[in-house]
Amino acid sequence: MSTAVRQRVVAPVWEVTRPARPGRVPGVVLAGLRDRGPDPVDHRLDPHPVLTLALACGESGLGIDESTGRQHRGSLVTGLGFGVGGAARVRAANVEWVQVRLSPAIARAVLGVGPAELESSVVALDDLWGERRAARLREQLAQAASWEERFALVEALLARLTAAGPAIEPELGWAWDRIVAGHGQVRVEGLAEELGWSRKRLWSRFHAQLGLPPKRAVKLVRFDRAATRLAGGQEAAGVAADCGYADQSHLHRDVVAFTGVTPATVAGQSLIATADMAWVDHVPRLSARWGNAPASRFDGAHRPPPPTGGDNRGGRVPGRSTDVTDVRSRHRRRQPTRAAEAGDSG
């Protein structure tokens, strides 16, 4: 390995258990995590192109500390891009938790608020689902006899929520899956052309319903793949070429902007065993396959009403106790966005 990327290899701190069978809820990836000990967990939390639910299996929950001094404990939800610039750390000891990687395409249905309301922020699950529902799930997960039983409980709940909740426009679901399937190596202009939309139209609807501008989504998905490969020990030059960066300097700038550290620091610092690296690289999609863009249905008088239970501007979802404005004002703490905003107008 090149001296430019050679670093002390950090022993994995998380033991990962994955479901024995494929999931039945599109847009969701589940895993069970247990810290290996004996030392407490303390590591940087890097941004990901998913919303993450950290579901505590008992009273000892995951801890996330922000650079601002704010501390969060218990069952938590992190938004798209949370942790930009190395502004957050994970701290825990003797914990087991179910990680739910959630596509932003189904975030509103599951959480009751749109992904835009949670971008670059961390929120207690109690504040989204209510204390009773969150506490009940925590008790059920603690009492479950196995990881498979825990996965079944979580998946059943998510299936009910997604079936009853609002859906995003299918064009946007297709666009998100296309970005993920292409590992961020797609042109936003090309997506708009395939949809028959203007670039401005794609930007506004993508941002409103998926929580971030399409160009930022492309950059985040591409960075996520590159960071995984660096952590797995691949050389920076090869990672830059494979992940669609112009050159190694381009990769360096992106990694520093997103994590606050250099590629050399990221290299060899995998937090899980090598056998689980494929799972880390798995960003959930609504469909395992994608083809041509769906025909646009939104011209003139044929524009449909907002999805049932919510609107494209991030309105309140009937039947949920959480008020979006209340969540934003009390709990939203956006992380620095210099990484994603650099040259990021669309």
Q: Using an 8 Å Cβ cutoff, are 79 and 119 in contact?
A: yes
Q: Which two tokens stand for residue 107?
A: 């975030």
Counting Cβ atoms within 10 Å, is residue 18 exposed (0-12), middle (13-18) or buried (19+)? middle
User: What is the average pLDDT value for the chain, to the nearest integer?
Assistant: 81
The mean pLDDT of 285-312, rounded to a whole number, is 47
Q: Which of 207, 157, 228 is nearest to 314 (CA)?
A: 207
Q: Return the percentage of the chain with pLDDT > 70, whole number.
A: 75
User: Which pLDDT belongs to residue 284?
Assistant: 82
Q: Using an 8 Å Cβ cutoff, are 98 and 155 in contact?
A: no
Q: Using an 8 Å Cβ cutoff, are 10 and 31 in contact?
A: no
Q: What is the CA radius of gyration of the chain?
A: 19
Least confident of 7-11, 50-54, 214-218, 230-234: 7-11
User: Which pLDDT belongs to residue 278?
Assistant: 52
Q: Which two tokens stand for residue 263?
A: 């590629």
Q: Using an 8 Å Cβ cutoff, are 191 and 175 in contact?
A: yes
User: Which pLDDT belongs to residue 164?
Assistant: 94
Domain residue ranges in the chain: 14-341
Q: Which of 342, 340, 283, 313 is nearest to 116 (CA)?
A: 313
Long-range contacts of residues 15-23, Cβ cutoff 8 Å, at least 24 apart: 15/273, 16/272, 16/273, 16/276, 16/279, 17/147, 18/276, 18/279, 19/147, 19/148, 19/151, 20/148, 23/155
Position with higher pLDDT, 63 vs 332: 63
Q: Using an 8 Å Cβ cutoff, are 7 and 269 in contact?
A: yes
Residue found by looking up tokens 């297709």 in the block: 174
